[in-house]
Structures are given as C-alpha cells and as structure tokens.
Structure 1
Amino acid sequence: MPSPHPSQPTRARDALGSAETGESPRGQSRIGRRSVLAAAGGIALAGFAASPASAAATTTATTAGRSRALSIRGADLSFLPQLEEAGVRYRDLAGRVRTAERIIAGAGATHQRIRVWVDPPEGYTDKARALALARRAKRAGLKIVLDPHFSDFWADPGKQPIPAGWPTDLPALTEKVRTYTRDLVREFAAQGTPVDIFQMGNEITAGILWPVGKLYPDDGTQRWSEFTTLLKAGITGAHQGAGRAGLKVMLHIDRGGKLDDTRWFFDNITEWDVPFDIIGQSYYAMWHGSLAQLKENLEDSVSRYGKPVLLAEISYPWTFEDGDGRGNIVTADSELPDIDRFPATPAGQAGLFEAVRDILTGIPGGNGLGFLAWEPEWVPGVGWEPGAEAPNDNLTQFDFTGRALPSIKAYRRP
C-alpha cells in the first residue's frame, strides 16, 4: 500500500494512465515473444546469469489437482513492534491476550510479510527490526515474505526514491541493488528464518529507484531497459543470498481489478525477460475495482503468463469511525463498489474476505495462491510517519482496543 498520508485517495493510482478508463496505457505492448517466454518461465539476461536456485524455482501454474485450500494465508505485521511499544495489546476472538502474529497463526495463517526500509526514521522497520520480526514469525510457525522497498521510507507507484547514500548512475546502482539484496536475504537465512517469498520492490507499477529506474519519466518515454536491469539485479541478488535453499520471487503491482493495466505491465516484463515466479497484486476495493473485475484479472493473468497469483495486499473497512480522531483515508464518502453486499461493519469485512477466498480457490489448477492482509494490526497508537496519524485504523482486523474481528477466520486452511 502506498504511504498512507492524507493525499492517498488520489495516491497516484493513475501512474499507468488508465486506472479509470480501462484502456491499455502508454500505447501498445511489446509482446512478440510473450507466449514463448511464459512457457519457459523466463531466464535472467542483461548480464545477470540465472543462479542454480533461480533455475530450480518452478511455476505452479500448470500443476493439476492441487488442494482447494489456499497455500498462502497471511498478513503484513510490520508496525507490530511499534504498536506494542506504544502499549497496544491484542486479544483473540475468545478475549485472550496474545501477540498479533500468534493470533493470526492460531487462526490458520501460514505467512507473515515483513517490510524493510534501508534507513527509515527512528523506530520504523529497518533491517534489524525486520530480522527481529522474522524470528517472532518463525516461533509462531509462519513463513517469511520479504518486502524490501529499496528506499529509506515509503515506496509506491507515486514515489520510489533512491536511498540516501546509494549511487545514482545505472551501473553502480545496479550493483548496489544486487549486493544489498544478496546480503539482506543471506542475513535472514543465517539466523534461521529463510525467506520463502521475495518481493522485488513494493507496488512497482511505475518503476523503482527513481529517477534512474522510473518507468514513465516526465519526458514521455518509457524506461523499460533501466527498470528491468535493476529488477534483474535484485532478483539475482535474492537467489544468491538464498543459496541452495532457494526462494520464490514475486513481482508486485497495484492493479487488482485492472486487467488492461496488468496486461500492459506483465506483457512488457515478459518481453524484457525478467525472471519471476509469482504475480503479486494489491486489491483495495475503494481503488482497484469490483470483485468481478478482480476475478477476471486474476484468471486472465494465470492463463496469459503461466504464473500463479497472490494478493500481496488486501484490506477492507470494518467501520467508518476514526479510532484516533485524526482522519482516515477510507471514509463514508469512499467508493466501495460492493458496499451493498459488504457494508463497513465487522460482518461486512468478514464477508469481503470470504468472497476473495472464493475467487482465489476457484482459480484453475490451484493457481490462486492466497492473500496477505495489509497491516491488520495497525490500530491507533503509531503514525504512518513520526508524529502523524494512523489513517488506516478502520481497515484493520482488530478493533480499536486490539480485539480480533471475525474476518481473521479467513486465515483458516479449508
């Protein structure tokens, strides 16, 4: 999710230029070899040879007869340590005080996503805090989805700033991305919390590491070469850091119900030979279309690219009230296309999660991997930046007092 500041309702969600129109953005796709590349699964090119781990990572898109149970059910809990430091305590549906990661694990979760920034403000998730979160996740029985933003703070379709102190020319920046990623993944493995899924950047719909890797600079060009060179460097580094244990690579964009935008992005990614294993999408009903559009898009991606899909971020309001009285980004004036079916109530939120589960389990071949709720523990107590508000406190899976809401039942296996 983009940095949740007050301007987020616009949130540069039209970075591709077609979020509302549904028209194919930025002209025609370069897709001459798409079907061949999709069948091959992609090979790292542009100077980065595929590692043995990369070659061994295979898509599940053609696997037949898989269980209808979602293989990935989890959440991003990156604010959790800060909330605990602010005095927040969590209770499960029975009212028992437990840590948030153990509550979702007890409900059936399998994975925890962990955000990591390079040099964020004091107290926010740097490498040391991310490693500590991973140790907690493992003790709770959860696998790790690692989400480096490749930035000192929030990175999203509206901004992807290069960390202070990193190089700003393409060759040096490419090498920095590779070595940073290699060392980061290696440290997770060294402490006994290996990365299961590596997310190459956060909502990279408009590129990474701006201005060098900005996909759509202001001059009207498209910088696929620079962007994909940086992607390949990070992916190579991730496989190097994982070693023989291997990991899966996810590319994550924010186009859940936007079929034409998704095709445009992944047609080009495939044409530029970027190797990856999972298509990751953000889906927020207030920005990314209806459930019917989500279903159409996910099924199209599986068929078109031969890759499984994962909802890397999802949340939905359980109330329109404001827990800290300082404003929320989703209010009664927000557009929720299925609001009649799923009102902003605890029951409505649970219903939305159940509907999403139904979509994912219905994707042929078991290729709807699952979902990751975004910051479901972010109740009032910690701002999106130091001194700011918690503008997502009505999108959580815990009420304002920290008690679990019925939607956590969506983590169950069956």
Structure 2
Amino acid sequence: MAIILIATLGCKKTIKGETQIYPEPDPVGTYAKGADVSWVTEMEAVGQKFFNSAGVQQDLFTILKDKGINTIRLRVWVNPTTGYNNTADVLAKAKRAKAANMRVLIDFHYSDSWADPAQQNKPAAWANQDFTTLKASVRSHTVAVLTALKAENIIPEWVQVGNETNDGMLWNDGKASVSMKNFAELIQAGYEGVKSVNPASKVVVHISNGFDNSLFRWIFDGLKANGAKWDVVGMSLYPTAADWSAKNTQCLANMNDMVARYGSEVMICEVGMPVADAVACRDFIKDIMAKNKSLANNKGLGVFYWEPQSYNSWSGYKLGAFDDSGKPTVAMDAFLP
C-alpha cells in the first residue's frame, strides 16, 4: 500500500515584505524513523569515513537525515574501560543529533559494557552493593546522565530503562527468573529517575525477539504485578531474508496484544539484517513500519536500525546497512518519505 506524505506548509513575511513558503519542522510526536549510531565516535577515531549514495563524503548525521532518519538512539554504559558510551561520549553524540534537529532516545544498559539477553553484568562500582543501594545507584546514574543532557538543552523524547532485559538486569539481584519483584523495583527506580529530571520523557522497557508473545507477557505481567511503571514496550527484531515476513506477522500480533493488554505504546528499538540482503532488508523495514503504524490509537511510535553505519564488518558486525565503500545500501531507502 502506498503511503503519501504531505508536508505542512507555513507562510512568513521576509524583510522586503514578500510572502515566503517554507516547510514546518517535523513536530515532536510524529513517527520516529531512527538509527542507533553509538559506534560513530569510535569509528571516526580510527579514520572511518562515511559517504552518501552519490559517493560524496559527509557527516554521518547528514547522510542519515537525507535518508529520512529523524531520531538517534544512544546507548549509555556506566564506566566503560575505553570511555566510549560513557556520559561524556553520549553527550557529544547527542549534541550532534540536536544540531541536526533530530530527536533522541537514550538507552541505559546499567553496565560497563554490553547488556543483552545473554549478559546483564553489574558495573564494577556496583558489584558489591546491597539491593537497596543498587536501586539507588540505578536512580542516581539515570538522573546524572539525563541532567548532563538537560544542561545542554537536550531532553530525550524516550529513555530505555535497561537493554534487552529478557530475564531482567543487574544479575543476579535483578534476574527476573530469580526475582521478578527485584527486577520490577529496579525498573521502577529507573522510571522514577527519568521522570524526576524530565517528566515528559517516555520510559521504555526493552525486550528482544518481538515475535515472542509469551516472553513479553511473562515480563510485563510480572512487572505490572509488582508495581513497576513504564510508558512504552520496546522490541528488537532481527529476522532473516527467508523468515522476515512470518516474523513480522508474529510481531504484529504481539504488538497488538501489548496495546490491548497494557494500553502501552510500542516501539521497535532495534532492527537489522545481513548487509548482503539489503533488498530484503528494505522490504522488511517498510513492512514492519507499516505494521507498527497500524496499531490502534497511534500507539506505534517508530522503528530504529541498529548501527546501520557499521561497514566492512566493523567489530565483527555484519548486519549494518552501509556497503564496504561506506555508502548506504538500499535498505536505508525504507526510511525515505
């Protein structure tokens, strides 16, 4: 189904008095077409360059914006050994997003490195804290990062409290299969931290495998039963060229259930597919965006590609959307108007 976007036009008077037609800026609250580009500063530091589709070297944010991306997602680590993804690095990238008139999603991992379904390790500085202190650390870290952003007039529209918390976070204290109550209290600590700095920021709880309804019901039923609050259900979806259509159908059913069961908004926080399957990836993204937009009462908020700018198997990652010459593949055309 073709989707036609009509730009809203406004008028203003120039110094000479002529009426000039100009496009209104995209208002906050419209659909998020996003990219997580947390690797960008690390890539640039070793000389990686980025090129538009015509082969002209440009700043990555410019290239992405020209492809329809209007929102940037940035992961936050507590005290990473390399410094990348710490508060200062996140702030530098968020400033670039703001300068490009892009919105921001902040993704707290509550770890010194990767947090995902296979690992949810405590930051070294929190390793020996009792549970009451651990909750306070989650809140204070959340507040500190968001306050640093706010000092630069950057108010994230969305904030993830945890990353792919399929079995909770901050193991073993917050492991959901061990203590859903502890996990819920940690989520609540993050939620309260976000709202204390920016009440309008929407809090996201993010789970992988967006096609797995039983997993999502287990997590969100458990959080609800234990008093945790959230605004948005976040999902990851990494299908293959062979199964994306079936996975998208399952994901739609899950998204509709999240809306009906909890009244939640839904965001696809991460998508990706092997760079060699760029055409299939484009079709997959266009389809999942259409499905996300179809949710009742405009509950579908957006879709984010995870590290599309990674190329030449940067850090061993092969699911980017830039080719080996550093140019966007056709997968990125899915985000164009």
Normalised to the residue count of structure 2, the TM-score between the two structures is: 0.86
Q: 1:214 aligns with which of 171, 175, 181?
A: 175
Q: Corresponding residue for 1:224?
A: 180
Q: Which has the higher strand share?
A: 2
Q: 1:273 aligns with which of 227, 230, 253?
A: 227
Task: For 1:397 and 1:351, locate their aligned partners in 2 and report how far apart those are by CA, in whole Å.
Answer: 13
Aligned 1:226-241 pairs, distance under 5 A: 226-241=182-197
Per the alignment, in what secondary structure is the counterpart of residue 105 of structure 2? Answer: strand
1:406 and 2:327 aligned: no
Determine what percentage of the aligned residue pairs are the same residue. Answer: 30
Q: 1:124 aligns with which of 56, 73, 84?
A: 84
**Does structure 2 conserve the Cα–Cα contact (< 8 Å) formed by 1:93 and 1:406?**
no
Q: 2:294 aligns with which of 362, 375, 379?
A: 362
Per-residue displacement from partner, 1:117-151 (whole Å, max 9, x unpaired)? 11113152211111100001111111110011100
Cα drift, residue 374 of structure 1: 0.5
**Does structure 1 conserve the Cα–Cα contact (< 8 Å) formed by 2:239 and 2:247?**
yes
**Does structure 1 conserve the Cα–Cα contact (< 8 Å) formed by 2:275 and 2:322?**
no
Task: For 1:352 and 1:292, locate their aligned partners in 2 and report how far apart those are by CA, in whole Å.
Answer: 11
Cα drift, residue 273 of structure 1: 2.1
Cα drift, residue 381 of structure 1: 7.0
1:396 and 2:328 aligned: no
Aligned 1:136-215 pairs, distance under 5 A: 136-166=96-126, 167-215=128-176
Per-residue displacement from partner, 1:251-281 (whole Å, max 9, x unpaired)? 0001310111111111111222211111100
Aligned 1:4-403 pairs, distance under 5 A: 71-166=31-126, 167-216=128-177, 222-242=178-198, 246-286=200-240, 290-319=247-276, 344=277, 346-380=278-312, 382-383=314-315, 390=316, 392-393=317-318, 395-403=319-327
Task: For 2:116 and 2:146, locate their aligned partners in 1 and report how far apart those are by CA, in whole Å.
Answer: 21
Task: For 1:235 and 1:361, locate their aligned partners in 2 and report how far apart those are by CA, in whole Å.
Answer: 26
Task: For 1:210 and 1:109, locate their aligned partners in 2 and report how far apart those are by CA, in whole Å.
Answer: 34
Matched to 1:89, the amino acid is K
**Does structure 2 conserve the Cα–Cα contact (< 8 Å) formed by 1:248 and 1:277?**
yes
Task: For 1:161 and 1:295, locate their aligned partners in 2 and report how far apart those are by CA, in whole Å.
Answer: 31
Deviation above 3 Å: which 4+ runs of structure 1?
Answer: 286-289
**Does structure 1 conserve the Cα–Cα contact (< 8 Å) formed by 2:72 and 2:102?**
yes
Q: Corresponding residue for 2:23?
A: none
Matched to 1:83, the amino acid is M
**Does structure 2 conserve the Cα–Cα contact (< 8 Å) formed by 1:107 and 1:409?**
yes
Q: Corresponding residue for 1:10?
A: none
Task: For 1:161 and 1:78, locate their aligned partners in 2 and report how far apart those are by CA, in whole Å.
Answer: 20
* Residues 380 and 85 of structure 1: CA distance in aligned 2, closer, same or farther (over 3 Å): farther
RCO higher in structure (CA 8 A, sep ≥6): 1
Q: Corresponding residue for 1:8?
A: none
Q: Which runs of 5+ in 1 are unaligned?
A: 1-68, 217-221, 320-343, 384-389
Q: Which runs of 5+ in 2 are unaligned?
A: 1-28
**Does structure 2 conserve the Cα–Cα contact (< 8 Å) formed by 1:308 and 1:368?**
yes
**Does structure 2 conserve the Cα–Cα contact (< 8 Å) formed by 1:104 and 1:411?**
no
Matched to 2:335, the amino acid is Y
* Residues 198 and 284 of structure 1: CA distance in aligned 2, closer, same or farther (over 3 Å): same
Aligned residues: 306
Per-residue displacement from partner, 1:84-136 (whole Å, max 9, x unpaired)? 12222111223222122221112222210001111113152211111100001
Q: Corresponding residue for 1:62?
A: none
Task: For 1:80 and 1:123, locate their aligned partners in 2 and report how far apart those are by CA, in whole Å.
Answer: 13
* Residues 121 and 381 of structure 1: CA distance in aligned 2, closer, same or farther (over 3 Å): farther
* Residues 402 and 91 of structure 1: CA distance in aligned 2, closer, same or farther (over 3 Å): same
**Does structure 2 conserve the Cα–Cα contact (< 8 Å) formed by 1:90 and 1:99?**
yes
Per the alignment, in what secondary structure is the counterpart of residue 379 of structure 1? Answer: coil
Please give the root-mean-square deviation of Cα atoms over the aligned residues, in Å.
Answer: 2.0
Per the alignment, in what secondary structure is the counterpart of residue 55 of structure 2? Answer: coil
Normalised to the residue count of structure 1, the TM-score between the two structures is: 0.70
Cα drift, residue 70 of structure 1: 6.2
**Does structure 1 conserve the Cα–Cα contact (< 8 Å) formed by 2:294 and 2:300?**
yes
**Does structure 2 conserve the Cα–Cα contact (< 8 Å) formed by 1:86 and 1:382?**
no
Per the alignment, in what secondary structure is the counterpart of residue 165 of structure 1? Answer: helix
